[in-house]
Amino acid sequence: MSEYTLESFTVENKTNDGIKLHTRLFKPGRESKDKDENFAIVMVHPYSILGGSQGLLKGIASYLASNGYVAVTFDMRGVGRSTGKPSITGFAEVKDVVAVCNWVSDFLSLNRILLVGSSAGAPIAGSAVDQIEQVIGYVSIGYPFGMTASILFGRHHKAILQSSKPKLFIMGTQDGFTSVKQLKNKLKSAAGRVETHLIDGVGHFQMEGPDFDAHMVDLIIKFIASL
């Protein structure tokens, strides 16, 4: 893996309740030329209340940077060094996603953003997609569409399903939160271009683990090429 550089920032957006978000910027090293100097991948971590943090996305972000892409991770409110308190349904966290994307656009001057959400980060990112003009596409890693998870995150579904922006849903066929049938039924009503990629025999938390980081990056890079 070729080199990348890592910088830390505090993102504070006046429209975001004064919340300060600990943010990491993964940039391609000198050896790996930026694939697109006007493009960034913003990643949204799994459920804060169950211990989700940006650290879980470090592997994917570093692989992306090593492949020439600017990647951004951040701790949502109440996680790590970010201020505030996490919410149970993830609606307050949508503002965090918008704040970081605005920072990427304003501070980094990158005006094309791919939003990637992992697990509960997928519905949160999905609710932000159409609130951010600069977002040109969306990738979900293990979206929790199942019945039980929908008690918490069901109100997020409509936003991403109605968005006309290109979408990729990656899921393991043994995902404990969503069955393949539930995924397909949900996506029947989705607007715009929708792709799915199923990983055979793999469970929800297994797919989020480091063993699958390189595979996730391959899928994300192929999707970027199609945008």
Question: What CATH number did the domain enclosing 90 receive?
Answer: 3.40.50.1820
pLDDT digits over 42-86, tens only? 999 999 888 899 999 999 999 999 999 999 999 999 999 999 999
Average pLDDT over residues 174-183: 95
Longest dimension (CA), the chain: 47
Q: Can you tell me the mean pLDDT for 1-15?
A: 85
Is pLDDT at 33 greater than 70 in this prediction?
no
Q: Are 139 and 125 in contact (CB under 8 A)?
A: no
Confidence of residue 31 (pLDDT cuts 50, 70, 90): low
Number of domains in the chain: 1
Q: E strand or H helix at 220, and its extent?
A: helix 213-226
C-alpha angle with apex 14: 91 to 53, nearest 5 degrees? 45
Domain that holds residue 137: 4-225
Per-residue confidence band for 16, with pLDDT thresholds at 50, 70 and 90: confident
* Closest to 118 in 3D by CA, of 193, 62, 61: 61
136 vs 119: CA distance, rounded Å: 20
Tell me how far CA of residue 111 lies from CA of 37, 92, 122, 159, 194, in angstroms: 10, 24, 21, 22, 23
pLDDT at 34: 60
